[in-house]
Each structure stands twice: as C-alpha cells, then as structure tokens.
Amino acid sequence: MKYTKRDRQQLLLETLEKNPFITDEQLASTFNVSVQTIRLDRMELSIPELRERIKSVAAHNFGEEVKSLPLNEVIGEIIDIDLDKQAISILDITQDHVFARNGIARGHHLFAQANSLAVAVINDELALTRKSTITFVKPVKAGDRVIAKAVVLSSDTEKNSTLIEVTSKVENDTVFIGQFSMYRVTKS
C-alpha cells in the first residue's frame, strides 16, 4: 500500500536529508507515485530542485575545506621553509577549533600544527615523532592567527634523531612551546 500524503512527505524530507543527489524520477519510483506528485510535495515542503540542492551542498562546503582538519596534510599553511633548518606555518583559529563554552582552542590543534610542521621541516623520506614535551603557555581564542616557527636544534645522524623546537605565537605573544624529538629515515 502507498503511504499517506503526510507520511510520504515526511519520508521525502528524510530521504533528501540523507541523499540530496536524487532526481524526482527516482523519488517517484521509490515512493510508487508519479513524478508530478513528487513535484507537488516538493512545492508544499518548499524543497528546491535537484540542481539547486546540489548547488547548495557545493556552495556550503566550498571554501570551507579548511573547516575540517585535513588529516593527511600539514595542519596550517606553511609560509616559509628552509629544509633541515626552520619552517613557519600559520593556522587561523575558527569556531571549529575551540571549546564552545569559552572559545579557547583545544590543545590538539596547536599540537597538530606544531607536530606537522616539525615533520615538514625534516628533509627526509619520513619523519616520526618519538617524544615531545609541550607547554600551553597562554590560551588561544577563536579569531587568533597562530604563527608557529619550527627550528631544528640538533641532528644526530648516528641515532637518526633530530631535535626540533616549535614556538607558536599570536601577535608576538608566545602561546605554545614544544620540543620534538624526531626519528628520521634517511633518503635512499
């Protein structure tokens, strides 16, 4: 048996919530009604057509690529790098990085920026963090621009070990300090 109008429209909403990439025709066949009925439903619920739905999904997420932490990339934008010596990256703190309650940035974002910068500055096939000591000097708030500077302190070729210090600042105020002991695999 077909659904009632009310039920169908409810389901329609849920269906499109889950998958906005679906045509009226496909909807019609899944609900066993005509395309026109679907159109009427969309009108009543003021759901836009497929193309507009897609456009809004795209527009919504466009330019917001930074919103989600790009797991495989460097966190923050590297603006200067001198391999095996030093590197600088910038991370703009948004609402997404902070505790909702007080607007203070979660520690792991600062760590992620510093750690990935430490990895980036090493001119090698691969660098792994072995050990690190970090200090959160001052809270960072949404809207702050964190500038992290990584400096290679020493490199022990014997032990495949490199010591890096990363200092992060917001408007010249140090907010984070981290020492990273990195393990490196020399280029073949």
48 belongs to the binding site for a second copy (CB under 8 A): no
166 belongs to the binding site for DNA (CB under 7 A): no
Q: Which is nearer to DNA, 51 or 101 (CB)?
A: 51
Segment interacting with a second copy (CB under 8 A) among 3-11, 23-31, 94-102, 150-158: 94-102
Q: Which is nearer to DNA, 53 or 130 (CB)?
A: 53
List b or e across 44-53, with b for residues whose CB sees 16 or more CB atoms inside 10 angstroms. eeebeebeeb
Tell how far CA 182 is from the center of its chain: 24
List b or e across 93-102, with b for residues whose CB sees 16 or more CB atoms inside 10 angstroms. beeebbeeee
List binders of a second copy among 115-174 (CB under 8 A): 115-116, 119, 125-126, 128-136, 139
Q: Which is nearer to a second copy, 13 or 54 (CB)?
A: 54
Q: Please, are residues 35 and 25 in contact by the beta-carbon 8 Å criterion?
A: yes
As measured in angstroms, the least distance from the Cβ of 37 to DNA is 3
10 belongs to the binding site for DNA (CB under 7 A): no
Q: How far apart are CA 146 and CA 104, in angstroms?
A: 13
Angle at which helices 35-44 and 24-31 cross, to 10°: 100
As measured in angstroms, the least distance from the Cβ of 44 to DNA is 9
Site string for a second copy, 19-38 (x = CB under 8 A): -xx-----------------
Q: Please, are residues 182 and 132 in contact by the beta-carbon 8 Å criterion?
A: no
As measured in angstroms, the least distance from the Cβ of 8 to DNA is 6
As measured in angstroms, the least distance from the Cβ of 149 to a second copy is 18
Written as one string, the DSSP assignment of 147-170 is EEEEEEEEEETTTTEEEEEEEEEE
- Return the SS3 of 49: coil
Interface with DNA (CB under 7 A), residue from 14, 25, 73, 77: 25
Q: Please, are residues 142 and 94 in contact by the beta-carbon 8 Å criterion?
A: yes
Q: Can you read off the two tokens belonging to residue 116?
A: 């990935």
68 belongs to the binding site for a second copy (CB under 8 A): yes
- Residues near DNA, by CB under 7 A: 2, 4-5, 8, 23-25, 32-34, 36-37, 39-40, 42-43, 48-51
